A and B are shown apart, each in its own frame.
Chain A
Amino acid sequence: MIVLNDIHKHYGRVRANDGISLTLEPGRIYALVGENGAGKSTLMRILAGHTRPTSGQLTLNGETLSHLTPALAREKGVGMLYQDPLDFPAMPVWENFQLGAPKRSKREVVDIIGELSYRLDACFLPDEPVSSLTVGERQLLELLRLLDLGATTLILDEPTTGITPEQKQDLFDLLMKLAREEGHTIVLVTHKLSEAFEMADSIFIMRQGALVGTLTPPYDEKELVSLMFGEAADGEVEPLPELPADAGKPRLAMHDVLFAGPKYSMGGLNFTARPGECIGLAGLDGSGQELFLRGLCGLDRMPGGSFDLDGVNHASNNFAGLRKAGVQFVPADRLALALFPGLNLMEHITLAFPDRHGDLTEFYHSQCVDKFNLQAHPDTHAVELSGGNQQRLLLSLIPDETKLLLMEHPTRGLDAGSARQVWNHLKRRCAEGATLIFFSPDLEEVLEHSHRVIVFYDRAMAAVVEGEDISMEVVGALMAGKRYDELKEAEA
């Protein structure tokens, strides 16, 4: 049994954890939910020994400690599975498995992997490099490694990001088995309520660093949502704008386009998009959706084919030229790719609108404050902004006359309220005639906000899905490599 008592963790003025007490019992599955930045990960990192709490005690099996170290946590049987698997892709499976374990020969390690795999219905080739595994398999390997190290309390941080619905089901079955049959404690950190409802024996809800409630079945979704978001739960997401009936000239028409990225290329792309359409891209990491966006805006090469943009043919995809023609690309990693950390807001505006001269104060106000409610002084550096404000800044830097907006994960790291604002803004742009093509690792987001969904599998366009077919089942199956025509047949 693990008891956390009055855990505080402060970063400067920010209280990531503010007096949290909770108890974890063996054989049970817990879900820790809360929106981004609620303090879930901090709390779990404290439990796994990666972060030292400012104050508070942890009691593990009767022993009270002020903090843990990673080694101590391992000794006490606490293992954490991170969102991005912490493994060494260049090394083979068995070496990754052996890391951190007492000295053993390769044969012993291979035997143990075989034994554990058999017990848990997994399959690994010991000599295969980890880089050739899928994210789901890497997670599973990490899980096996933790179990081998003697972990009895398993913390999984957003384990379903980047895996297919099928892999998710396998993982959940496995967790259920570990808890029910072997008496392990499972903590599932997630911001997806459906997963919590499906799995958890009780749900801890965090908001703004505090534990605001513990629910047990039967769950009341309304109560949970209001606990999780507070007042922000109110407010509506606008529906997708209606598409104009007349077809008119297509916004984008791709003719046998071939894109070549640094890692792979993708050819034979034919696709047409209309003005005002929201098009979502679905696919596992590295299935081709990133290259599709980066190629369209000219960041990756286009060695073959051509595309029409509002009837103008482009045989080459020059970034600056396309940008002038109204194509804008917004990457997911804001600080690393899209903003200048040490420059202030006004300087960003100056750089983004080079054609405007003279005093930009008024323009700044209309662009950032009035349109996006970006409440920050123009002298604030981009690095000091919260994730939500960074996204607002990025959106305010996109000129109004943009015709084709290409976005990677538009709501990455945003809380529910900010995410809703972002979507409402994007939909308004579409209603005014812009075309949006975006992808998100959160499949629900893709399904909710798309007129049509392009599914990528194995570095190719697998299918374009519309209407009734935009559902978890169909898109999920396509993402996992099922063929669209076979799915249709099975349905009929």
Chain B
Amino acid sequence: MNRESLLTQTGWLILALLLALALTVIVALPTGAPPFETIYVLFQGSLSSWSKVGRVLAGWVPLTLCSAGLLIPFTARLWNIGVEGQVIMGAIFCTAALRPFDDGGSAGVIALALAASAAGGAFWALLAGLLRVFGRVHEIFSGLGLNFVALGVTLWLIFGPWKRPGVASMSGTEPLDISLWLPRLANMSVSWVGLALAVAALALVYILLHRTKWGLKLRAVGENPKAATLFSLGPRRRLLQAFMFCGGLAGLAGAVQVLGVYHRLLPNISSGYGYTALLVSMMASFRLSLVPFICLFFAILNVGSIQLPLQLGLDSSLSGVIQGIMVLSLFIVQGLRLWLKQRKEAD
């Protein structure tokens, strides 16, 4: 599939988009939404001004961090569905690291918070990994379970030990001192630190997977764990490393949400980016080169959906429906391709 020319690849992509459009029309009509206007508003609502582009980029950063990270466990054929919980844990560790500094601090404190968040995400991923490697619990079940645990921990902290003096509410913990906010890029709501982290993550994942022996060994473990044992590649250790690496990047995504976007810990701190990243990785068929673009596309849909209720009086969840349709149509088209190919070979 990777060996086909760019032209055919694009052709299939266009077919997928057309299918998505057709399905969107079918879904939109009964709800009374004008389909084409809905799509127009979605894009116009996220690209029509610099501040909107900034918001898109602010969504792109955590999404890219998570999606790039997910490629590493997937190389070892692991589905780290616990990435959502790892984002939340990163946010919790980040907030915890900053609690002694409620009077503000320097760049060093921010660096400390980032490191703490990566450690938190990695720790949460390690739990899923240990369950998988030593307890034979499939990582999808342990990951999903740990996601709920992480959410529970956030709620407990916000309404318990970390509640604001006098009020405990869904609006989260006491805001951070302004000196601890990530510096903004011009007037946009995205921070250059976040952008740099995301780009660095993409580069790091590329180098690790394609330019080091570590990546080759990880691929070998994913291809055939039994043979990996015969080659003394230490499959268990490598699986745990893959989990922790992904968890670390997811934790950073949580930190960016705390330091750069909300400036506090919220119940919904992850904004569901972990789950969205799983969709992105599947849509990219785990090819790193596609990840930044698909992330951008999802970020655009996310930001644009805010305009739906404002301009058309529609519920913003329609955007989620459109996202789902996009992914489904891509898979349908991919399945169609595979089926055609197999039929051709059978003849």
Contacts and interface: CB of A to CB of B under 8 A. Distances in A.
A340 interface: yes
A339 B227 contact: yes
A342 interface: yes
A6 interface: no
Contacts of B223: 340-343
Given A12-B345, A350-B213, A343 B220 contact: yes
A247 interface: no
Interface stretch (A125-133, A145-153, A330-338): A330-338
A341 to B, nearest CB: 6
Interface stretch (B152-160, B182-190, B229-237): B229-237
Contacts of B213: 350, 354
A320 B229 CA distance: 9
A11 to B, nearest CB: 9
A91 interface: no
Nearest to A341: B223
B264 interface: no
A259 interface: no
B80 to A, nearest CB: 20
A299 B231 contact: no
Interface string A299-311: 1000000000000
Contacts of A323: 232
Interface string B30-66: 0000000000000000000000000000000000000
A323 B224 CA distance: 19
Contacts of B231: 351-352
A439 interface: no
A387 B219 CA distance: 23
Interface string A318-361: 01100100000101000011111111000100111010000000
A319 B232 contact: yes
B226 interface: yes
Contacts of B219: 340, 342-343, 347
Nearest to B228: A340
A336 B226 contact: yes
A340 B229 contact: no
Contact of B227 (A319, A338, A354): A338
Contacts of B224: 336-337, 339-341
Nearest to A338: B227
Contacts of B228: 340
Nearest to A335: B224
B220 A351 contact: yes
Interface residues of B, number: 16
Interface size class on chain A is: 20 to 34
Contacts of A341: 223-224
A319 B233 CA distance: 11
A347 B231 CA distance: 12
Contacts of B132: none
Contacts of B227: 337-340
A320 B232 contact: yes
B216 interface: yes
A449 to B, nearest CB: 23
Contacts of A340: 219-220, 223-224, 227-228
B263 interface: no
Interface string B8-39: 00000000000000000000000000000000
Nearest to A357: B213
Interface string B219-254: 110011011111111000000000000000000000
B229 A347 contact: no
A355 to B, nearest CB: 12
A323 B228 CA distance: 13
Contact of A338 (B230, B232, B233): B230
A258 B219 CA distance: 35
A337 B230 contact: yes
Interface in B208-222: 213, 216-217, 219-220
Contact of B229 (A12, A319, A343, A350): A319
Contacts of A337: 224, 226-227, 230
A331 B220 contact: no
B183 to A, nearest CB: 42
A441 B233 CA distance: 30
Nearest to B234: A320
A347 B216 contact: yes
A339 B229 CA distance: 11
A347 to B, nearest CB: 6
Nearest to B232: A320
Nearest to A354: B213
Interface string B137-178: 000000000000000000000000000000000000000000
14 contacts: A12-B345, A299-B229, A319-B229, A323-B232, A331-B230, A336-B226, A337-B224, A337-B226, A337-B230, A339-B224, A339-B227, A343-B216, A347-B219, A347-B220
